[in-house]
Structure 1
Amino acid sequence: MSASDGDGRESGKGAKHRLRALRERFKHLRKEARDKSHWAAERLLDKRICIGITGLSGAGKSTLISSLIYQLSHPDRAQLPGFAPALNGRLLGAELHPALDTGLPLFEYQRCLDALTANPPRWPESTRDLSALELHVHLQGRRLGRDYRQKVILELRDYPGEWLMDLPLLRMDFATWCRHQRDLLDGAPRAELAPELLSELNALTPETVVDSAKLDSLWQNYRQFLRDCRGERKLSYLQPGRALLDSEEYGFFPLPALSHQSQGELQSLPDNSVYKVLEARYRNYVEQQVAPFVDSHFRHLDRQLVLVDLIGTLFAGEESLEDMRKAFGHIADTFRYGSNGLLRKLWRPRIDRLVFAATKVDQVLAADHDALRQLLGQQLQQVFSGARHRGLPLYCEAIAAVRCSNESVRDGRRMLVGHAMDGRYLGFENAEIMAHLPQDGEWRHYTGGLPPQLRPPVGIGREGYMPHIRIDALLNLLLGDKV
């Protein structure tokens, strides 16, 4: 055999491999196009609805998502009189599927359900990263005298509320953010939490030559300060939000002392100055963490649900409630609002409905639920009253994803009863919820302390139902016009 014959065979094999690779690539592209066209048709026909779900710290997001899945998947066990498809017998059930097109990990529903149905039951762990799922909801309808089956795909995208607090950074450069943070740090309660740290930050001038060890120490102390703000004072508006969740060394913090320098003066500082180093870290955080999250996540959303632990915030005091309102105000402009026209549904969907829900209302008497909803509505009205938000369908509700308490009467007084996390049977009363923002001395009304944390009720799954408060009303807000 000549060398040329061997070369010819090798060339022929290479051509076959390339042809096979091209065929596989073509098959992949054809499947992708088919999937995308199917996805496009579902959006155009309102058969696919993408809902973003997040919650401010401690709002119970994992429990809420688990409850939504459970109620829709078990129509024979669910108690959803406020959700028309369930009331009319049209809800046939739902199936959980991975959200393959998102590239996101599947929400760990089974892990959450295992926690709620354990013996003794416990609360699911908090979400610390992005996840997604598809819930294929099956409905029965009747048209022209004939029954037919309908499938609506709910694409639920779950992300930590701490990430939500980072969205305003997209509209601020580092200097603007520092000045904004300075105003927060100078006021209560932040100024009282870590006076030594804040004194060090105030003493650090922008032109100071970087001392890496000192900078790292300040960053660790600032991260702990943010955690104390959340844990001790129940504050909501904390940045960078990811510093509360993971151990990544983002390494930037505000410089309150730069208030007198112009932008030109700051930009002329040497690269080894504190300002330039922190500015680079801030810019990297926004470009590498915040912007990609917004681009890959929010451009798909049709609706957004924000969960709020309003009861815990209210009993934590005036400063906590004011901080929550600031958080609402600064994130309000970040969502892309507006109606979803035919083409916009495909290319750049906008959030056409924003729902805020106060959670854990089983911590107060049923007579206070409406007052809690009114109070949340007042906070939202103050934030979204500007012209730039007109036309945005905004809703609020008060819910308990899993009801842990019942009401009882003792010595002629209504009270709540349930089990503490250690299993003890409790009976307790809380201050009556006022339907308006407390004024001056009225804050003393809430000084009795936070309601006790209760464990989930025993018997979820075995008795066949998951008790809740107004999950049906929430489903109606999120899906009622689509099903």
Structure 2
Amino acid sequence: MSGIDESATGASHETGRLQKLRDQWRQLRKEARDKSHWAAERLLDKRICIGITGLSGAGKSTLITSLIYQLSHPDRAQLPGFAPALNGRLLGAELYPALDTGLPLFEYPQCLDALTANPPRWPKSTRDLSALELHVHLQGRRLGRNYRQKLILEFRDYPGEWLMDLPLLRMDFATWCRHQRDLLDSAPRADIAPELLAQLRDLAPDATADPRQLDSLWQDYRQFLRDCRRERKLSYLQPGRALLDNDEYGFFPLPALSHQPLAELNALPEDSVYKVLSQRYQAYVDEQVSPFVDSHFRHLDRQLVLVDLISTLFAGEESLEDMRKAFGHIADTFRYGSNGILRKLWRPRIDRLVFAATKVDQVLAADHDSLRQLLGQQLQQVFSGARHRGLPLYCEAIAAVRCSNESARDGRRMLVGHAMDGSYLGFENAEIMAHLPQDGEWQHYSGGLPPQLRPPMGIGREGYMPHIRIDALLNLLLGDKV
């Protein structure tokens, strides 16, 4: 009996092994088929990967929700500037997970629920990576016959705070410290937390590290970064992830490094302040920044960067200058260039970079063009170098969801809408100048930030989602593909 049992057991084991091999073979065939479809879609310009990010408070989640809604509901979309919608060629769109990315699906239903709630509210801010595929269906005509075509848009959404970390890839810890020292020694950072900055200046790089002291300074430095953003609307803040989570990255700049040679710093003991912080810094770059860049940016064809330029402008000259610094330091990080046939498959380059000033419903329509010109001047200063020539760079001014309307009082134009508490209000803002303010002109914007408005009632579901120039934005991102 034992021989029969052993024979049966062996046969069963062999059958299971063969079944496992068959399952693996089927999976390999499926993956190969999927990859071949992906490759064909890219080669034929039927798939395009668009990265979407923005500096703090720019409204990425709302913008993506609006894009999906407008493309998915051509009967309700208001896109006269987007040719497929105007000509009746836009048939709709379907949302799918971006399976090959391994990233969580963008929470479109939750964002739409927020905008269509009673009372409506804004979607939650982006705090991590997400992705989606939007299969856009279009009607074409060839040889007198109609046919359907599909364009697959792969959106990759990531926090703008992560964007601020990209320059760390080009700096060692000592270089970063010297770079940060110049920022910390000047306004407005020097005025925000003078006691903390004095402690950082007094911390000797060659002193023996006290873990409790370093951890305490790290917590204070994290709070300093958050105060820089909340109180002064600063943009160029590192490490950027410290603004979003409570992980213990544990490093901060050492202003006392001065101009000590790198060889001298590297010769310090392993338990010195410099060595401990340097190791924490490098671990952050290796474990957080590099994997994000390697897994994310190498897939992008186009990049959209959203900017809350209005809040920054009304926050004053220092805030606007800090935004320009942020643009300057991230400008060289994207992989620019044309996408040839092989590059589409192997390592795509960003062939179009679009910056969009958001929330333009906070200012009068007469100021929208001035805002776009002002953003363009900011970008010209940053991208004027020879290394950026040939890069298709665009700028636009948009409102993903329009919350205000214009009215008149005593012969003056004003905006009307609902505050976050639901109360009805009318307000006027300073006129937006179409040029960078000079020293004596900053007083023009001293009246304070525009009020935050609630989304309008009745949008989505069975109604329209009002916007400003989303059709123009779609043209910049997709016009040459449709």
TM-score, length of structure 2 as denominator length: 0.99
SS of the residue aligned with 1:121? coil
C-alpha offsets along residues 405-458 of structure 1, whole Å, 9 cap, x if unaligned?
000010000000001001111111000000000001100000000000000001
Q: Which amino acid aligns with 1:313?
A: T
**Partner Cα separation in structure 1 for residue 167 and residue 276 of structure 2:** 21
Amino acid at match of 2:233: K
The aligned counterpart of 1:378 is 377
Displacement of 1:367 in angstroms is 0.4
1:14 Cα deviation from its structure 2 partner: 2.4
AA aligned opposite 1:75: P
Q: CA deviation at 1:154?
A: 0.4
Q: Distance in 2 between matches of 1:129 and 1:2?
A: 58
Equivalence for 1:26: 25
Map of 1:182 onto structure 2: 181
The alpha-carbon deviation at position 18 of structure 1 amounts to 1.7
Q: Which AA in structure 1 matches 2:335?
A: R
Give 1:367-406 correspondences, 5 Å limit: 367-406=366-405
Q: CA deviation at 1:20?
A: 1.3
- Tell me the residue number matched to 1:414: 413
Q: CA deviation at 1:13?
A: 2.6
Instruction: Deviation per CA, 1:59-79: give whole Å up to 9, x if none.
Output: 001000000001001101111
Aligned to 1:141: 140
User: Secondary structure at the residue paired with 2:135?
Assistant: strand
Q: Give the 3-state SS of the residue equivalent to 1:254 in structure 2.
A: coil
Secondary structure at the aligned position of 1:397 is classed as: strand
Does residue 125 (structure 1) correspond to residue 124 (structure 2)? The answer is yes
The residue aligned with 1:280 is 279
Aligned-partner SS, 2:138? strand
Give 1:22 shift. 1.1
Count how many residue pairs are aligned between Structure 1 and Structure 2: 482
Hey, what's the Cα distance between the residues in 2 that align with 1:474 and 1:382? 22
Q: Which runs of 5+ in 2 are unaligned?
A: none
Give the match for residue 300 of structure 1: 299
Q: Which residue of 1 aligns with 2:243?
A: 244
Matched, 1:169 2:168: yes
Amino acid at match of 1:158: D
Q: Give the aligned partner of residue 12 of structure 1.
A: 11
Structure 2 Cα separation of the partners of residues 12 and 25 of structure 1: 20
How far apart, CA to CA, are the structure 1 residues paired with 2:226 and 2:203?
Answer: 22
Provide, for residues 292-337 of structure 1, a one-character-per-residue CA deviation record: whole Å limited to 9, x for no partner.
Answer: 0001000000000000000000000000000000000000000000
Distance 1:99 1:437 in 2: 41
- Percent of aligned pairs with the same residue? 85
Match of 1:358 in 2: 357
Structure 2: which amino acid aligns with 1:107?
A: F
Shift of 1:8: 3.9
| Matching of residue 61 in structure 1 with residue 63 in structure 2 | no
Matched to 2:182, the amino acid is: D
Question: C-alpha displacement at 1:11, in angstroms?
Answer: 3.1
Aligned ranges for residues 191-270 of structure 1 at < 5 Å?
Answer: 191-270=190-269
SS at match of 1:122: coil
Runs of 5+ unmatched residues, structure 1: none
SS in 1 for 2:289: helix
Q: Report the equivalent of 1:337.
A: 336
Q: How many angstroms apart in 2 are the aligned matches of 1:407 and 1:28?
A: 58
Paired residues for 1:50-129 under 5 Å:
50-129=49-128
Q: Which amino acid aligns with 1:349?
A: P
How many angstroms does 1:10 deviate by? 3.3
2:312 aligned partner? 313
> Residue 447 of structure 1 aligns to which amino acid in structure 2?
S
Give the whole-Å Cα distance in 2 for the aligned partners of 1:238 and 1:308: 15
Q: Aligned-pair distance for 1:7?
A: 4.1
Instruction: Tell me how far apart the structure 1 counterparts of residues 10 and 95 of structure 2 sit (CA, whole Å).
Output: 49
SS in 1 for 2:381: helix
Residue 461 of structure 1: how far off its partner (Å): 2.4
Over 3 Å counting, the alpha-carbon distance change for 1:2 and 1:425 in structure 2 is: closer
SS at 2:416 equivalent = strand
Partner SS state of residue 454, structure 2: coil
The whole-number CA distance in structure 2 between the counterparts of 1:430 and 1:438 is 16
RMSD in angstroms over aligned alpha carbons? 0.9
Give the drift of 1:15.
2.2
Equivalent residues in 2 for 1:418-429, closer than 5 Å: 418-429=417-428
Does residue 41 of the first structure (1) align with residue 28 of the second (2)? no
Q: Matched residues in 2 for 1:361 and 1:369: separation?
A: 7
| Amino acid in structure 1 at the alignment position of 2:355 | F
Deviation at 1:399, TM superposition (A): 0.2
Shift of 1:463: 5.5
CA distance in 1, matches of 2:319, 2:420: 25
Name the CA distance, whole Å, in 1 between partners of 2:153 and 2:391: 22
Larger displacement relative to structure 2 (222-231 or 204-213): 204-213
Task: Output the CA distance in 1 between the equivalents of 2:2 and 2:100.
Answer: 52
- Taking structure 1 as reference, are residues 411 and 287 closer, same or farther at Cα in structure 2, changes over 3 Å only? same
Q: What CA distance in whole angstroms lies between the structure 2 residues aligned with 1:175 and 1:184?
A: 15
Tell me, in whole angstroms, the C-alpha distance in 2 between the residues paired with 1:39 and 1:463: 34
Question: What is the CA–CA distance in structure 2 between the aligned matches of 1:360 and 1:391, rounded to whole Å?
Answer: 29
C-alpha separation in 2, matches of 1:18 and 1:253: 54
Equivalent residue letter for 1:196:
E
Q: Using the alignment, how far apart are the partners of 2:11 and 2:288 within structure 1?
A: 48
Instruction: Provide the secondary structure at the position in 2 that maps to 1:403.
Output: coil
Q: TM-score, normalised by structure 1?
A: 0.99
Q: Hey, what does 2:326 align to over in structure 1? A: 327
Q: Quick one: distance in 1 between partners of 2:295 and 2:205?
A: 34
Offset of 1:9 from its aligned partner?
A: 3.6
Deviation at residue 110 of structure 1 after TM alignment = 0.7
